[in-house]
A and B are shown apart, each in its own frame.
Chain A
Amino acid sequence: MMIRKLLALAILTYKEGVRDRALFGIGLFSLFMMTGSILVVSMFMRELHKVTVDINLSAITFAGLLLSFFVSINLMSKDIDRHTIYSVLSKPFSRSQYVWGKYLGIMLLIITAMGMLTICSSIAIWFTKFQYLVYFQGFSWIEFYKAVYAELLMFFMLNALIVFFSTITTSSFITLLFSISTYIAGQTIEEVVLFLKTKHAADMALSKGITTIIDVVQYILPNLSVFDLKTQSAHAITISWNYLAAITCYSGAYSIVLLIMASLIFNRRELK
């Protein structure tokens, strides 16, 4: 019964998201970028496969980000903003079931969108490869799909963050701000930590307070840069299965912890 209820809420969320007009805009924009990649590539003289893979993976990431920031936030926060949640929670759902059901629905939407974009990207790459076969000797489909999978893991985590922020904030705009800030911080935190370990940073004599804050923050913030495998994929560098397994566990564990925290907070929240 519980699974049935969760699925009912997930499918409701998915249907609402998949018919969002913004989704069509995002889809069209991505298709435009992918088709554009076929034309743009012809302007390059060498390493065409790198340019093709880079543009296509970037288009997938960009579309996923737009989808997360504009459609996912609407699906969760607007429920609370517009009080649609009253109707949903009038059914025998616990608050935790609501959080998990919503997240499942959002993930279904992300998986569908990523699936469609991957198919379109594959067609664009295949077409370019067909035209310029000689430049695609170093290209690997497996590495390309591994990079797409890593992006999907990143979106699992990012959307868990969005659900988490939706449960602690009172408006969708604040959720958007928090989510974008965390995404930027999550993409750059590794670079900051690595920089602090260099000789340049040692010369800067940062205060102990700042280094302590960065030390703590690096464990709290999600390290989203580990999911960015565009460079490896573009250069057809083999990404080990162990690495994929590790980032899968990282994304899964981080998302589950976030959703448990979101459920706990949401259980306490008053829906005025």
Chain B
Amino acid sequence: MLEILIKNISKIYFSEFKRKKKIAVDTVSLSIDKAEVFGIIGVNGAGKSTIIKMIMGFIRPDSGQIFVSGKSPSDPDSRRRVGYLPENPYFYDNLTAREVLMFSCQASGLDKQTADKRIKILLKQVGLYDEQHQKLRTFSKGMTQRAGICFALVHDPDIIILDEPMSGLDPLGRKIVIDLIDDLKKRGKTVLFCSHILNDVERICDRVGIMDGGSLEKIYTKDEILETADAVNNLEEIFLKTIGRDE
């Protein structure tokens, strides 16, 4: 069963003054199955975040179609079963982690009892339980990132979209996130995420899409990655080869 379907989407940005054209996403097609972990990798400006923003309905594709659980991203209902972590999440300074998570639960229609239970479990999992009543402005970048992950997962969504989930995390934080994604995978959740950290992508993804200059150059399955190269940094080699910068 398809959870995310992307059909030939393109997006062009124009600079504000000179109206200079920049192709952010160029005719990308992609489908992600239920219970699949799909990773997108690419250099800065490759179009990874633009695709994610289009899936979330923040921006519209100039052409092509996107379906999330069979619904268009312009329909708020398409986000009912979605959990999203933006790149460099920024929350309300004067609110506590618990208040922000409670909002996430209320907005997703969870009752208070279930919300309390979920908040407690997740905060303990990411190691923020003792800081739950602390205002978010006192949080470090890593703590904010972990709070953002809780915000995305607290309502137990079926589709999880993470934009650079390892950004700003220390090795322990990275391990916690990888364990969380592993756990989501075991529970049959669909995960789409983009990252710069190739080792992590290689470790947890069922399939990996490599993007360059707005195009989805190639999609590899985990087995293909293991077969293509036998060096330690398999994905790094494949990535550089795919985008033509392996000299």
In the complex the two chains form, what is the Cα distance from A108 to B178 in whole Å?
41
| Neighbour of B77 across the interface among A9, A86, A92, CB < 8 A | A92
A90 touches B152 (CB 8 A): yes
Which B72-119 residues have a C-beta within 8 angstroms of A? Answer: 76-77, 79-80, 82-84, 86, 88-95, 99-100, 103-104, 106-109
B89 touches A87 (CB 8 A): yes
Provide the B116-135 mask, 1 if CB < 8 A to any CB of A, else 0: 00000000000000000001
In the complex the two chains form, what is the Cα distance from A16 to B93 in whole Å?
7
| Neighbour of A12 across the interface among B56, B57, B79, B103, CB < 8 A | B103
Contact count band on A: 20 to 34
A4 touches B95 (CB 8 A): no
In the complex the two chains form, what is the Cα distance from A19 to B88 in whole Å?
23
| Neighbour of A92 across the interface among B76, B88, B148, B152, CB < 8 A | B76
> Which residue of chain A has the shortest Cβ distance to B54 in the bound complex?
A270
A248 to chain B, nearest CB (A): 31
| Neighbour of A15 across the interface among B80, B94, B148, B151, CB < 8 A | B94
Q: Which of B58, B80, B82 has the most CB of A within 10 A?
A: B58
A93 touches B76 (CB 8 A): yes
B92 touches A16 (CB 8 A): yes
- Cβ of B60 within 8 Å of any chain A Cβ, yes or no, is yes
- Cβ of B2 within 8 Å of any chain A Cβ, yes or no, is no
- Cβ of B59 within 8 Å of any chain A Cβ, yes or no, is yes
Q: Which of A15, A91, A92, A94 has the most CB of B within 10 A?
A: A91
A12 touches B91 (CB 8 A): no
A8-B107, A90-B82, A92-B76 known; A15 vs B56 contact (CB < 8 Å): no
| 13 chain-A/chain-B pairs, Cβ below 8 angstroms | A5-B106, A5-B109, A15-B92, A16-B93, A19-B94, A19-B135, A83-B88, A84-B90, A84-B92, A89-B57, A89-B58, A92-B76, A270-B58
The 9 closest A-B pairs by CB, nearest first: A90-B84, A19-B94, A91-B107, A8-B106, A86-B86, A271-B58, A16-B92, A92-B76, A270-B59
